[in-house]
Structures are given as structure tokens and as C-alpha cells.
Amino acid sequence: MLAALREVRGTFGLGVVAKGKTEQIVVARRGSPLILGIGDGEVFAASDVSALVSHTKNVVYLQDDDVAVLTPKGYHLRNLEESKVFRAPTTVDWDISAAEKQGYAHFMLKEIHEQPDAVANAMRGRIIEPEGIAKLGGLDAVLDRLADMDRLIIISCGTSYYAGLLGRYVLETATDYSVEVDLASEFRYRKLNFRPKTAVLAISQSGETLDTLAAVQEAKRKGALVLGIVNVVGSNIARETHAGVYNHAGPEIGVASTKAFISQLTIVYLLTLLLARRQRMDVNEGRQFIRELEAIPEKIQRILAQADQIHAVAKKYAQFSNFLYVGRKFNYPIALEGALKLKEISYLHAEAYAAGEMKHGPIALIDPNFPSMCLVPRDSSYEKMVSNIQEIRARSGPVICVATEGDRDIYRMADDVIHVPASDELFTPLLTVVPLQLFAYYVALERGCEIDQPRNLAKSVTVE
């Protein structure tokens, strides 16, 4: 096995049983996740911790080119050069119930409903209220270097990329840093001139996304300070980054990311608070920021309580084939995320645009068979969003609006309205995303789709 693996190119996560040696499994990894579970008189191997927790909470994360021989009595580890290696065992800090549906029809629905907790857990122990600041222990060692950066590049894929896009708006609003966001898969093609004070922030739920991992390694090679916001403890990206923050969102099983996204956003807000308080945000503003954030879990609960109404709206639109999602400013990344959710689990075509772009092309698509999901909370871009909605109406396009509670004007221009509680505009994305997740879920349900494991998709994308 060792000799064969020395010849192998590319990534792998392997389990091999030799004919006639059924008491022994040889496992090996490069690039793909592989975790051992150490039980009492039994040893397991899996690509994800959630497969192990019903058997044991003691796990060992293997690293690239580790080869382990498992027997009922235990395991031993070598690298490809046949030297013994040691990987410290760790204990999984969440329970099996977190990896079960607990009465929900799907993991996705359960995870949508766990979002108030996901926000609270991301904040727990990370707020110093009297001083109006955030404390992110995982960044302590690099805080001065981070505060001194002159450029921040956020890299990620899929939903995590949209968390990064929102991060740019939020960080630029509250701090003086210059923030860029890039798809991890494109980052490596850029001829980036890294200055010494460049920091890179990777966002990944799984911590195993190969494109993000490759981008992290590239940024390290170029000398950047590389940070992570990662949910899965001990994952590749968590280990490769210089410092980082864990989400503590618990396992996310549904392929369509929901609670991890809201948790990523929460940490981006905490990071913003941390950096802003070292710049131009005063203590009172910091405390107000915290109050807004702390109010979010209860506001999300209020949106979840409208699940039946959102289901009714979804049922009405489930037979349409194409959707346009539009938003501006803080809600533009949420429009992108909402469209991705619908695509992933209902297999319907949905595209998202910054509403200001409509007149540059997409408005040509609008007709009575092309509904638009418009994110129109009462914020600084409200009037402009209203103009966009009127343009859609003028072309007989059906309009669904996500609007602020108490906004009665919106009924005059919308076919259907879903309400979110009022909040400071900086924080509206933490609310507006929730109805879009529920809308996608119920459309997929009405269409009889495989919600937790949509076709052609994997939870962790460990291939290029």
C-alpha cells in the first residue's frame, strides 16, 4: 500500500481491505478528509465526524500522506516514508442529537430553525458589553498584525463567498480597511501583488473545500497573514490558517448551507466590531452595535413563526421555471444567496442581480412568467428598490417582496409580501436571508425534490 501510494498523483481518501485479512483496514488520505473514531475495542474511519459521533466522540484527524492500519485492538500510523507519526486525539464537543433530524422532515428545515441558536452560539463569550467590543480569542495572537493590515482579501466559495461579499460591505461601512472578495477558485489565477501588510480571510463551513484550501496555501506562500472562519474543528483549512475563529454552529448536514451562513455572517459582524473599535467606532456605538446583534435571534424566531405563510407563497410560485432575485447594498449578497438556495434544491433557474443592474440587461427577461423576489427592507436604498419594483410591475412581472414589518406601502406594488422585523440597515441581511431559505425549501418540497441531498452536489467539495 505504501509503495503504491508513493506512485499516486492527485487527491484521495482511501480504505483498503486485503483479501483474507478482514480484521484489518488500511486507510490513507491526501487532500480529502479522513478521520478515525477510537471506540472501545473498535476503530472507525469516516470522511466526516457526523458519521462517527453515534459510535464514539474520540477522534483523530489524519493529515496528508498519513497511512493508518486499523484493527479492533487499535491503530498505528505512518507516513509514506514509513516513519511513525503521531496525531493527537481530540474529543468531539457536540452530541449525536445534533446530527439527527429530531422530528423535522429534513435536515435543512431543522438547520433553518436552528439559526437563532447559531447566531447566539457564534456570539457566546465573544462580547464585552460594557466596553462595546468583541473578543475573538482565536485572533488574539495576531490582533496587532491584523489591525495594522492595509488590505484584506476574503476568499471562499458558494454560500461562503456570499458571506464574504456581505463582509466587504459591512467592514467597509464600519472601518477604514480596504476589502476585496474573491472566489477561491479564481483567486489562484490572479497575479496578485501582495504587499507585506496583506491579510487573507478564508471562509468555509466544512474547512475542506479544495479550492479554498489551495487559495489559503497560495496566500501563505506569498507571505500574507491568513485567517479562517471555519465551522468544522480540526479541518484542513482550520489547520492551514495562521489563526481563526470557529463558528460553533454544530454539524450542518443538509447540502444547502443555512445555519452555517448566518453563523459566518455573525462572525463577520464581530470581526467588524473588533476592528472598528480600534479605529473610528466609539464605545457607545460599539454598545449599540452589540444591542442590534443580540436582538437578532429573537427577530429570526419571529420570521420562523411565519413558516406557514411562506409555505403558502412558495406553493403559489412552485410551478414557475425562472426567478429573478434583486437587492441593493447589504441585501445584494442576500439576493445572490437566495437564488443559490432555490437553484440547489429545487433545480429551478434563479438568477440574482444588484437591482441597479436591471436596466443593463436582465429587465429584458421580465414577463408574466418570470417572478421577481425583491429584497426591500426600509433602508437607505428603499426608494431606489421601489423604482425597480415599479419597472418590473410595468412589464407585468409577478413580484414577491421581503419587506419590513409595518411597511403598508409595499402592498400596493407587490403580489405577495413576506415581512421581517425592523432593524438597523447594517443588520437586515441576518433577517432577510431567512424567508429566502424557507421559500426555497418549500418550493423544493412542493416539487418533490431531494432536499437534503440534491442531485449532482456534495456537502464538502474536495475536488477542483
Which residue lies nearer to ligand M6R by CB, 336 or 374? Answer: 336
Which residue lies nearer to ligand M6R by CB, 155 or 414? Answer: 155
d(CA 457, CA 346): 13
Q: CB of 242: closest distance to ligand M6R in angstroms?
A: 18
Which residue lies nearer to ligand M6R by CB, 263 or 388? Answer: 263
Q: CB of 334: closest distance to ligand M6R in angstroms?
A: 14
Check the CA dihedral 124-126-129-133 and report its sign.
Answer: negative
Give me the residues that bind ligand M6R (CB under 6 A), please: 157-160, 204-206, 209, 212, 255-257, 344, 457, 460-461
Q: How many CB atoms lie within 10 A of CB 463?
A: 12
The end-to-end CA distance of the chain, in Å, is 25
Q: CB of 263: closest distance to ligand M6R in angstroms?
A: 11
Which residue lies nearer to ligand M6R by CB, 342 or 417? Answer: 342
Q: CB of 162: closest distance to ligand M6R in angstroms?
A: 8
Which residue lies nearer to ligand M6R by CB, 127 or 203? Answer: 203
The residue at minimum Cβ distance from ligand M6R is 158
Q: CB of 368: closest distance to ligand M6R in angstroms?
A: 30
In SS3 terms, the chain reads as: CHHHHHHCCCCEEEEECCCCCCCCEEEEEEECCCEEEECCCCEEEECCHHHCCCCCCEEEECCCCEEEEEECCEEEEEECCCCECCCCCEECCCCHHHHCCCCCCCHHHHHHHCHHHHHHHHHCCCEEHHHCEECCHHHHHHHHHHHCCCEEEEEECHHHHHHHHHHHHHHHHHCCCCEEEEEHHHHCCCCCCCCCCEEEEEEECCCCCHHHHHHHHHHHHCCCEEEEEECCCCCHHHHHCCEEEECCCCCCCCCCCCHHHHHHHHHHHHHHHHHHHCCCCCHHHHHHHHHHHHCHHHHHHHHHCCHHHHHHHHHHHCCCCEEEEEECHHHHHHHHHHHHHHHHHHCCEEEEEEHHHHHHCHHHHCCCCCCEEEEECCCCCHHHHHHHHHHHHHCCCCEEEEEECCCCHHHHCCCEEEEECCCCHHHCHHHHHHHHHHHHHHHHHHCCCCCCCCCCCCCCCCCC
Q: CB of 204: closest distance to ligand M6R in angstroms?
A: 3
Which residue lies nearer to ligand M6R by CB, 344 or 452? Answer: 344
Which residue lies nearer to ligand M6R by CB, 14 or 216? Answer: 216
Which residue lies nearer to ligand M6R by CB, 2 or 461? Answer: 461
Q: CB of 205: closest distance to ligand M6R in angstroms?
A: 4
Q: CB of 202: closest distance to ligand M6R in angstroms?
A: 8
Which residue lies nearer to ligand M6R by CB, 60 or 184? Answer: 184
Q: CB of 157: closest distance to ligand M6R in angstroms?
A: 4
Q: CB of 270: closest distance to ligand M6R in angstroms?
A: 18
Which residue lies nearer to ligand M6R by CB, 338 or 398? Answer: 338
